[in-house]
C-alpha cells in the first residue's frame, strides 16, 4: 500500500484535478489498481505552474492541513492592461497609459505587507448562492465577491522590466489570491495590470526541491520504483515537532484514548512509534488528544 506525497511540478496548462488524474493513472499502470486514495493539497490554476502536493493513502488525511498552510508564489504583473480574469486567459476590460517605474512599485509594496483586505477575482472557485463564481462570470453575471482578510507574510520585488513588468515573490496566508494582489499593486501604482506568470515555489513544508516533473511521474508508470518519486507521510509534518511514544502509548493513541502527563509545551505535534507516524495530536496541559489518526499499525508492529 502506498502512503505519502508526490510533489508535482505542475506544468502550464494542466489543471490540479488533471495532476491528480495523472498520478492515479500511473498508479494503475504500475499495478496498484484503484486501491490507493489520492488527493491534492491546494488548487493551482491551469495557467499557474509549480508545487502541487498530491497525497497518497493515509497522507490524504493531511490534505486539508495543506490547504491551510502558508504558500509562496513568484509572479509577474504586466502594467497597462487588466483582463476580466486578471491573467492572460481573459479579455481586456481596462487599459492605462501609466507605466510605473521600479521605484514606484517598491514604494507601494509596504502597503501590501502584513494583514490586508482584498476582493477575490470574479473568476475564482468561490461560491455565490451555491454557484461557482467563475461559472457565473462566464455566464455574464456581474459577480460581486466580499472583501476578505488575508496576510502577506513577505513581499519582495525580484525583477523589473519596463515592458514585461514587475516580478515579485510573495509568501502568503491561506485564502490569498495572487491575481487580486497583482491587480491591487497595479492600481496603487496608478495603473492597471494583469498576471502574465504565476509559479508556486512553496506550499507548507514542500518546495521546488521536492518536486518532480510530469515526465518523471510517467517513468514510474513505466516501471521506475515508486521510492524515486514518493516522499513519506511524515514529510508533510516537517513543520511541526514529533513526540516519541512507547508501544503501550501508541496503542492507546490508536484507540483514541487521551494520554496524560506528557512533559511537552502545548501545541500541535505528530506522534510516532519508532519512525512510523501514529497520529497528528494536540497537546494541552500535558494531555495528548488525537486530531487525526494514521492507520499504519500494520507497518509499526
Question: 63: which residues sit within 8 A by CB, 6+ positions away?
Answer: 39, 40, 41, 53, 55
In this structure, the answer to whether residues 195 and 101 fall within a common structural domain is: yes
In this structure, the answer to whether residues 221 and 191 fall within a common structural domain is: no
In this structure, the answer to whether residues 62 and 107 fall within a common structural domain is: no
Q: Tell me what pLDDT residue 249 has.
A: 95
| Containing structural domain, residue 175 | 71-203
Of 203, 227, 258, at which residue does a domain stop?
203
Measured CA to CA in angstroms, residue 119 lies from 1, 37, 167, 179, 223 at distances of 43, 35, 21, 10, 47
In this structure, the answer to whether residues 176 and 135 fall within a common structural domain is: yes
Q: What DSSP designation does 209 have?
A: G
pLDDT in tens, 39-74: 988 888 889 999 999 999 999 999 888 888 999 999
CATH number at residue 266: 2.30.130.10
Q: Which of 247, 297, 222 is nearest to 58 (CA)?
A: 297
- In degrees, rounded to 5, the angle at the alpha carbon of residue 180 between the alpha carbons of residues 176 and 185 is 115
What's the average model confidence in pLDDT over 189-199?
98
Q: Tell me what pLDDT residue 137 has.
A: 87
pLDDT in tens, 63-122: 888 888 999 999 999 999 999 999 999 999 999 999 999 999 999 999 999 999 999 999
Q: Tell me what pLDDT residue 222 has.
A: 92
In this structure, the answer to whether residues 78 and 177 fall within a common structural domain is: yes
- Active-site pick, 9, 45, 84, 87: 45
In this structure, the answer to whether residues 21 and 34 fall within a common structural domain is: yes
CATH number at residue 124: 3.30.2350.10
Q: Tell me what pLDDT residue 301 has.
A: 39
Residues 121 and 175 sit within 8 Å (Cβ to Cβ): no
In this structure, the answer to whether residues 252 and 227 fall within a common structural domain is: no
What dihedral angle (degrees, nearest 10) is formed by the CA atoms of 77, 81, 85, 88? -70
Residues 157 and 75 sit within 8 Å (Cβ to Cβ): no
Of 203, 225, 250, at which residue does a domain stop?
203
Number of domains in the chain: 3
pLDDT in tens, 204-258: 999 999 999 999 999 999 999 999 999 999 999 998 999 999 999 999 999 999 9
Measured CA to CA in angstroms, residue 172 lies from 121, 181, 267 at distances of 16, 10, 22
Q: Looking at beta carbons, which pairs linking 179-182 to residues 24 or more positions away fall under 8 Å?
A: 179/85, 179/86, 179/87, 179/121, 180/86, 180/118, 180/119, 180/120, 180/121, 181/112, 181/118, 181/152, 182/75, 182/77, 182/86
What dihedral angle (degrees, nearest 10) is formed by the CA atoms of 291, 294, 297, 298? 170
Residues 300 and 276 sit within 8 Å (Cβ to Cβ): yes
Percentage of the chain modeled with pLDDT above 90: 83
In this structure, the answer to whether residues 131 and 199 fall within a common structural domain is: yes
Element (H, E) at 278: strand 276-284
In this structure, the answer to whether residues 96 and 116 fall within a common structural domain is: yes
Q: Which of 87, 15, 85, 93 is nearest to 54 (CA)?
A: 15
pLDDT in tens, 130-187: 889 889 889 988 888 999 999 999 999 999 999 999 999 999 999 999 999 999 999 9
Burial class (CB in 10 A: 0-12, 13-18, 19+), 33: exposed
- Let me know if 244 is a catalytic residue: no
In this structure, the answer to whether residues 229 and 219 fall within a common structural domain is: yes
In this structure, the answer to whether residues 76 and 198 fall within a common structural domain is: yes
User: Using 50, 70 and 90 to split pLDDT, how confident is the model at 297?
Assistant: low
Query: What pairs with residue 55 in β-bridges?
Result: 5, 39
Of 178, 203, 228, at which residue does a domain stop?
203
Q: Tell me what pLDDT residue 300 has.
A: 39
In this structure, the answer to whether residues 142 and 169 fall within a common structural domain is: yes
C-alpha cell at 45: 490554476
Amino acid at each position: 500500500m502506498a502512503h505519502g506525497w508526490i510533489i508535482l511540478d505542475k506544468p502550464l496548462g494542466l489543471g490540479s484535478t488533471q495532476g491528480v488524474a495523472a498520478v492515479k493513472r500511473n498508479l494503475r499502470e504500475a499495478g496498484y489498481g484503484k486501491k490507493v486514495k489520492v488527493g491534492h493539497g491546494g488548487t493551482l490554476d491551469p495557467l499557474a505552474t509549480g508545487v502541487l502536493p498530491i497525497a497518497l493513502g493515509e497522507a490524504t488525511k493531511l490534505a486539508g492541513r495543506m490547504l491551510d498552510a502558508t504558500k509562496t508564489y513568484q509572479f509577474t504583473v504586466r502594467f497597462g492592461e487588466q483582463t476580466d480574469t486578471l491573467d492572460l486567459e481573459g479579455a481586456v476590460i481596462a487599459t492605462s497609459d501609466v507605466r510605473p517605474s521600479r521605484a514606484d512599485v517598491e514604494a507601494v509594496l509596504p502597503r501590501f505587507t502584513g494583514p490586508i483586505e482584498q476582493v477575490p477575482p470574479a473568476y475564482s472557485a468561490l461560491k455565490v448562492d451555491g454557484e461557482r463564481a467563475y461559472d457565473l462570470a462566464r455566464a455574464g453575471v456581474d459577480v460581486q465577491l466580499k472583501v476578505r482578510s488575508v496576510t502577506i507574510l513577505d513581499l519582495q520585488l525580484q525583477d523589473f522590466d519596463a515592458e514585461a513588468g514587475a516580478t515579485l515573490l510573495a509568501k502568503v496566508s491561506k485564502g490569498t489570491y495572487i491575481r487580486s494582489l497583482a491587480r491591487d499593486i497595479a492600481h496603487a501604482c496608478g495603473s492597471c495590470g494583469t498576471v502574465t506568470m504565476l509559479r508556486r515555489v512553496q506550499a507548507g513544508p514542500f518546495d521546488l526541491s521536492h518536486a518532480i516533473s510530469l515526465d518523471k511521474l510517467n517513468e514510474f508508470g513505466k516501471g521506475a520504483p515508486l521510492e524515486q518519486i514518493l516522499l513519506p507521510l511524515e514529510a508533510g509534518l516537517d513543520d511541526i515537532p514529533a513526540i516519541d511514544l512507547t508501544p503501550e502509548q501508541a496503542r492507546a493513541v490508536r484507540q483514541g484514548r487521551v494520554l496524560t502527563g506528557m512533559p511537552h509545551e502545548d501545541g500541535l505535534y505528530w506522534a510516532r512509534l519508532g519512525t512510523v507516524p501514529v497520529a497528528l495530536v494536540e497537546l494541552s496541559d500535558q494531555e495528548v488528544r488525537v486530531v487525526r489518526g494514521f492507520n499504519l499499525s500494520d507497518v509499526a508492529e
